[in-house]
Amino acid sequence: MPSIFQTLYCKHKDSVTVATATTNQKGAFVFDKVEQGDYRILFSSIGYLPQTVEIADLQKSYSLGEILLVEDAVMLAGATVQGSATTGYSDKKVVFPSERQVKASTNDGITLLQQLMLPQLQVNPLFNEVSLPGGGESQFRINGVQVELKEITALQPDEIIRIEYHDNPGLRYGNAEVVLDYIVRRPETGGSFGIEINDAFDFPMWGNNSVYAKVNHKKSEFSASYSISHRDFKEVWRDNEEKFLYPDGAMLHRREEGELGHWKMRRQYLKAGYSYMEPDKRMFNVAFRYWSDNTPNQDYNGSLYNVADPSDRVRMLDKSTDKSHRPSLDLYYQENLKNNQTLVFNLVGTYNQSSFSRIYQESRNGNILTDINNTAEGDKYSIIGEGIYEKKFSKISLSAGIRHTQSVSDNEYINGHTYNTEMQQAVTYAYAELKGKLKKLDYTVGAVLPARGLKREMKILTTIPSIPVWYCTINCRISRSFVLTQAYIALTLHCQTKRCAANN
């Protein structure tokens, strides 16, 4: 039986990942644009022993043929059990890392995730990145609380009990295509501290560094972490190609010949948190987070020429800066009730300040032909509140919730003239969702009732449009945990819209 939707890694001899691939429904895969050299191909699947294929002195396209995976043996309470260290439910798969996988993970939750090689996930431990084919959204959680990916890097592999993998998450998780919930053990007393330095000392324009600390006392946990990434490339260039199609059918095709420029960036992330947990009863979590992104130099210059007439050439200058600051406060409370019932309340307040400027010029013989100078600055305040109820039965799970977002934004645009826009927005939606499993068939049935209000420049454009939507998804699984077919049905019952306008 082919292993489908499985992620594979192509590595250099020094273990640096150079390419990833995902198997199709026939179990086939391709690594594209791999340069000549020596490589190792890493294969792994849940319930099977990992395998490595060595390729020496790759010169041209190469076929590995058919590769057979051998079932793993898991030791439980002194007995050897053949099978997978994973358990499937209607709403998730629960993966228990083996002792071998924990030892093979160097220092954080990202490297452990690479060892597990879950379907669809593409993990790059060098840059601490996790992506999906097609660029879908991944959401990360620790003990049920949503966190940033940088907080996963502060986890130690030996403190991770299991990972709950939602490859078909419901409405509770927003637009996420995949949700990874790390369930970790909490010591009653003690603490941990760690620092990670990834700086190229002979190449001082690149670095990823982080530090974290955690202290536990009885049911409380105090934590803090900080990370910084910096880049400073003083010899960068770009090669662009642009086409302009005019209403009369004529086309202008131009190419850019880049010359040396400057690109500089610094990103910072700070998190301080407190958590109180009574196992199997309740949990309270508060987290302060701060993001900073400063790109003072994105400076490019060169020549633009007409492909149809290379003598038609102009000088080009493109310089921009981009800065943003985003502090937030996150309050999370979870109460576990009797009979597999759960109540969750979450409140998040965020302030986002951003500024952007760009200068673009085209000139010929010292005469400026195009001169664009834009500046945009914005402030946004938002608060998001959410309440969720969940009930789990033997073969089905029921969830319902309501979510409200209130935001106010103020933006200023300068381009020879100054423009100001103010907007107030309110979005509320309630949902109910039922998930179940019937033999090899997973199904989801739900309903959504959204409502939205928008106020812009003191003029109310739209208030409270109500659009109830019923939907149904069906997943047919015939091989361990891989989705082969999926049907999606959405029914809009009615739409009621009320519009009014109020002058200032």
Alpha carbon 58 to its chain centroid, in Å, reads: 33
Stretch (H or E) spanning 101: helix 99-104
Q: Which two tokens stand for residue 148?
A: 């940033």
- pLDDT band of residue 271 (cuts 50, 70, 90) is very high
> What pLDDT is attached to residue 480?
36
Q: How far apart are CA 99 and CA 70, in angstroms?
A: 18
Burial class of 66 by CB neighbour count within 10 A (0 to 12, 13 to 18, 19+): exposed
CA distance 504 to 374: 28
In whole angstroms, give the CA distance from residue 261 to residue 274. Answer: 45
Q: Taking 90 as the threshold, does the pLDDT of residue 39 lie above it?
A: no
Residue 93 burial by Cβ neighbours in a 10 Å radius (0-12, 13-18, 19+): buried
Q: Are strands 79-82 and 145-147 parallel, antiparallel or unpaired?
A: unpaired
* Burial class of residue 33, CB neighbours in 10 A (0-12, 13-18, 19+): exposed
Q: 149: closest CA among 239, 225, 203, 45?
A: 225
pLDDT at 450: 72
Residues sharing a CB contact under 8 Å with residue 9, sequence separation 6 or more, in sequence order: 17, 19, 20, 41, 42, 114
- Cα torsion angle, 45, 3, 76, 218, sign: positive
pLDDT exceeds cutoff 50 at 491: no
Residue matched to tokens 């040396």: 260
**pLDDT tens, 277-289?**
998 899 999 999 9
pLDDT of residue 412: 93
Other C-beta atoms closer than 10 Å to the C-beta of 38 total 12
Q: Of 256-270, 348-362, 388-402, 453-467, which range is least confident?
A: 453-467
Do residues 5 and 11 touch, judged by C-beta distance below 8 A? no
Most confident of 102-111, 418-427, 465-474: 418-427
Question: Cα–Cα distance between 501 and 486 in angstroms, integer?
Answer: 43
Domain ranges in the chain?
195-392, 394-402+426-504
Pairing of strands 37-43, 145-147: unpaired
Tokens, residue 221: 């946990």
How are the residues of the chain apportioned to helix, strand and coil, as percentages rounded to the nearest 5? Answer: 5, 65, 30
- Which amino acid is located at 9 in the chain? Y
Which residues face 407 on adjacent strands? Answer: 382, 425
Tokens representing residue 385 in the block: 């509140």
Tell me which long-range contacts 370-376 makes (C-beta under 8 A, separation of at least 24). Answer: 372/415, 373/415, 373/416, 374/413, 374/414, 374/415, 375/413, 375/414, 375/415, 376/411, 376/412, 376/413, 376/414
pLDDT in tens, 88-132: 776 788 888 888 888 877 677 888 888 887 888 888 877 778 888
- In contact, 164 and 149? CB cutoff 8 Å: no
